[in-house]
Amino acid sequence: MTNLSGVGPLFDATGQVERLSRDNYRFLQRYVLDGSGIVIDSEKDYLFEARLMPLVRRENLRSLNDLCALIKATAATPIRQEILEAMTTNETLFFRDMAPFEALRNSILPELKAKCGPAKRLRLWSAAASSGQEAYSLAMLLLEGGFQNWNLQIAGTDIAESILERARTGRYSQLEVNRGLPVHYLIKYFTRHGLEWQLKDEIRRMVRFERLDLRRATAGPGPFDIVFCRNVLIYFDPTTKRQILAAIQSVLAPGGYLSLGAAETIINLNETLEKCVFGKATLYRNPE
Amino acid sequence: MAKAMVVDDSRAIRLILGRTLEGFGYQVCQAANGREALALLHREGDDLNLVLVDWNMPEMNGLDFVKEVRSNPRYSKLALMMVTTETHIDQVCAALEAGANEYVMKPFTPEIIADKLRLLGCLQ
Ligand SMILES: C[S@@+](CC[C@H](N)C(=O)[O-])C[C@H]1O[C@@H](n2cnc3c(N)ncnc32)[C@H](O)[C@@H]1O
C-alpha cells in the first residue's frame, strides 16, 4: 500500500478541492505524451480534471495530486493504463462526415473494383478505430457496393484495449445508432437487443480489431488499398504526425488512398502523397 | 430559404425541433397532428423541403400522414423524417415501407438531427 497521507489537505482554505500542482500538471502532461503521444497543452488543462476525477473518486483518493503520487510510486498497476485511456477522446460515429464515404462509394471503390478485379481482394485499415463505427461503416459500404464475393480484410486498430473490446462486440446504444447511420442500414445489418442494437455477424466478422500504437506502426500488416486515419493526428506534435504519415504510406499499396479527419492535412508533413478531391472530401493517394 | 415543417403533439418537442432546424437555416412551420399537417402541406406544399414527424398523435398519426403524403405525386421530392419514441424494428420497417426517408428514435440531440439531415442531403 502506498501511504498517501501528507499529500495535502482535502480542501484548501477557501473550501475548494485541492488544485493540481504545477509540478504534477507537468508530470501528467509528460506521462500522457510518453504513453500515447497525445499533446495536452495549457489551453486544455481542464481535461485532466474532467477526465481523471472519476478515477480519483473511484480509488478513494482526494485529488489529482494523490493520483500522481500513486502512479509515481507504483510500476505496473492497471490504473496507469486507465489514465491514458481516460485522456484519449474516443468520440466517433457511423459514416462520420459522410463525404469520405461518398468518395469511396462514388469514385474510389468503382476504381479499385476495376483495378483489383482479377484478384478480387481488398484490404482496408481503420487506424484509430475507437469503438468500431468507422470500420463497420466501411464494411457495410463494401457489401452495399457489390463486393460480397470478394476477399475482404478490414483491420481496426487503436491504442486503447478497452475501447477495442467494445468494438469487437458490435453492440451499440440507441443514441449511437441514431448518429450518422442511415436507417436502411440499421434495419438491414442490426438486430434489436433490449435497449441496444447488435451488428449482425455478417458485418462483424469482416473486421479484425487489434491493439496498435500508431507511433509504432512501422512494420504493420499490409499493404492496404484504403486507410482511414481520422481524427487522431490532431492530438500529436508535428514530428509524430510526420512519422505516422510515413509509416502509413509505407503500408499503403501503390494507388491506394488515405483519408484523414476533416480538420487534418498532410501540409508540411508529407511531400509525396497526392491530394485528390472528390466533391467535399479530400483524400491522399499513394503514387503508383 | 429552405422550409421545414415540424409535426408533433407536444409543444415542447415542436419548440426544440423548430429551434434546431432554425439553427440550420430553415424557416419552420408547425402542426400538432397529421390532419393539421396535411392541411398546412396543401397550402404551403410546394415550398416545403422537409417534414419531421412524430408517430403517436391524436386525429392522424405520423404513419398515416406519411402514407397520405406519399400517395400524392405532388410531394414526391419532399423529405420525410420520423422522430419518435417507437423503436421496435418492425415499426421502423413499417415507416420506411410507408415512404419515410429517415428515422430518428427519441431521445435525440441536435447533432443526431444534423447527422440525419446530412444523410438526406438536407444540410450542408
Ligand atoms: C476521436 S477517436 C477517432 C475515431 C474515428 N477514427 C473517427 O474519426 O471517428 C481517436 C482515437 O484515437 C486513439 N488513439 C489515440 N492515440 C493513439 C495512438 N498513439 N495510437 C493509436 N490510436 C490512438 C484513441 O484511443 C481514440 O480511440
Both A278 and A155 in a single domain?
yes
A197: helix, coil or strand? strand
- pLDDT for residue A15 is more than 60: no
The mean pLDDT value of chain A amounts to 90
The mean pLDDT value of chain B amounts to 94
Compare A141 and A20 and report the one with higher pLDDT.
Answer: A141
* Alpha-carbon span A128 to A15, nearest angstrom: 41
What residue type is B59 in one-letter code?
A: E
Residue A213: its pLDDT value, please? 93
Residue A249: its pLDDT value, please? 95
Residue A5: inside a domain: no
Residue A16: its pLDDT value, please? 57
Residue A6: its pLDDT value, please? 39
Range of the domain at A268: 99-285
- pLDDT for residue A94 is more than 70: yes
Both A115 and A256 in a single domain?
yes
Instruction: Report whether residue A215 contacts ligand 1, using a CB cutoff of 6 Å.
Output: yes
Residue A195: its pLDDT value, please? 85
Task: Provide the number of structural domains found in chain A.
Answer: 2
Hey, are the CB atoms on A95 and B119 less than 8 Å from each other? yes
Last residue of a domain, one of A65, A86, A107: A86
Hey, are the CB atoms on A183 and B115 less than 8 Å from each other? no
Beta bridge partners of A171: A198
Instruction: For residue B28, give how far its alpha carbon lies from the nearest alpha carbon of chain A (Å).
Output: 23
Residue nearest to atom 7 of ligand 1 (CA): A92
Rg over CA atoms, chain B: 13
Peptide linkage before A9 cis (omega within 30 of 0)? no
Instruction: Report whether residue A241 contacts ligand 1, using a CB cutoff of 6 Å.
Output: no
Chain B residues whose beta carbon lies within 8 Å of the beta carbon of residue A180: 115, 119
Both A205 and A77 in a single domain?
no
Residue A220: its pLDDT value, please? 61
Both A235 and A177 in a single domain?
yes
Phi-psi region of A97 (alpha: psi -120 to 50; beta: other; left: phi over 0): left
Residue A217: its pLDDT value, please? 78
Both A148 and A240 in a single domain?
yes
pLDDT band at A14; cut points 50, 70, 90: low
B108 in contact with chain A, both atoms CB, cutoff 8 A: yes
CB A209 within 8 A of CB A156: yes
Mean local confidence (pLDDT), B26-39: 96
Phi-psi region of A222 (alpha: psi -120 to 50; beta: other; left: phi over 0): left
Task: Provide the number of structural domains found in chain B.
Answer: 1
Both A245 and A152 in a single domain?
yes
CB neighbour class for A38 (10 Å; exposed up to 12, middle 13-18, buried from 19): buried
Residue A3: inside a domain: no
Chain B residues whose beta carbon lies within 8 Å of the beta carbon of residue A98: 118-119
* Alpha-carbon span A186 to B93, nearest angstrom: 10
Calculate helix-pair angle for B62-70, B89-98, nearest 10 degrees. Answer: 30
pLDDT band at A44; cut points 50, 70, 90: confident
Residue A53: its pLDDT value, please? 93
Quick one: which atom of ligand 1 is closest to the CA of A228?
A: 6
Compare B38 and A12 and report the one with higher pLDDT.
Answer: B38
Residue A104: inside a domain: yes
pLDDT tens figures, B46-91: 789 999 999 999 999 999 999 999 999 999 999 999 999 998 999 9
Residue A61: inside a domain: yes
- pLDDT for residue A216 is more than 50: yes
* Alpha-carbon span A199 to A192, nearest angstrom: 9
- Residues A267/A269/A273/A278 CA torsion (nearest 10 deg): -40
Last residue of a domain, one of A32, A64, A86: A86
Both A146 and A212 in a single domain?
yes
Mean local confidence (pLDDT), A197-202: 97
Both A72 and A177 in a single domain?
no
Hey, are the CB atoms on A183 and B96 less than 8 Å from each other? yes
Residue A92: inside a domain: no
Mean local confidence (pLDDT), A150-160: 95
**CATH code for position A109:** 3.40.50.150
Range with lowest mean pLDDT among A42-51, A84-93, A102-111, A233-242: A42-51
Q: What are phi and psi of A212, to 5 degrees?
A: -155, 130
Residue A203: inside a domain: yes
* Alpha-carbon span A162 to A153, nearest angstrom: 22
Residue B120: its pLDDT value, please? 92
CB A181 within 8 A of CB B103: no
Residue A94: inside a domain: no
Residue A149: inside a domain: yes
Which of B52, B87, B124 to mutate to probe the A interface, most A CBs <10 Å? Answer: B87
What pTM was estimated for this model as a whole? 0.89
Both A238 and A116 in a single domain?
yes
Range of the domain at B88: 3-120
What cell numbers appear for A247 in the block?
509509416
pLDDT band at A45; cut points 50, 70, 90: confident
List strands edge to edge, sheet with B102-105. B27-31, B3-7, B48-53, B79-84, B102-105
A46-60, A217-231, A266-280: range with highest mean pLDDT: A266-280
**CATH code for position A34:** 1.10.155
Mean local confidence (pLDDT), B100-106: 95
What is the percent of chain A with per-residue pLDDT over 90, rounded to a whole number?
A: 77
- pLDDT for residue A8 is more than 50: no
What cell numbers appear for A248 in the block?
502509413
Q: Which residues contact B90 (CB under 8 A, 6 or more apart)?
A: none
- pLDDT for residue A259 is more than 90: yes
Mean local confidence (pLDDT), A239-249: 95
B58: helix, coil or strand? coil
End-to-end CA distance of chain A: 59
Instruction: For residue A248, give how far its alpha carbon lies from the nearest alpha carbon of chain B (Å).
Output: 29
Instruction: Report whether residue A96 contacts ligand 1, using a CB cutoff of 6 Å.
Output: yes
Both A241 and A273 in a single domain?
yes
- pLDDT for residue A23 is more than 50: yes
Neighbours of A169 (CB within 10 A): 13
Mean local confidence (pLDDT), A90-102: 94
Chain B residues whose beta carbon lies within 8 Å of the beta carbon of residue A175: 107, 109, 112
Residue A17: its pLDDT value, please? 66
Quick one: which atom of ligand 1 is closest to the CA of A92?
A: 9
**CATH code for position B53:** 3.40.50.2300
Last residue of a domain, one of A64, A86, A108: A86
Residue A9: its pLDDT value, please? 43
Both A141 and A228 in a single domain?
yes
Both A147 and A188 in a single domain?
yes
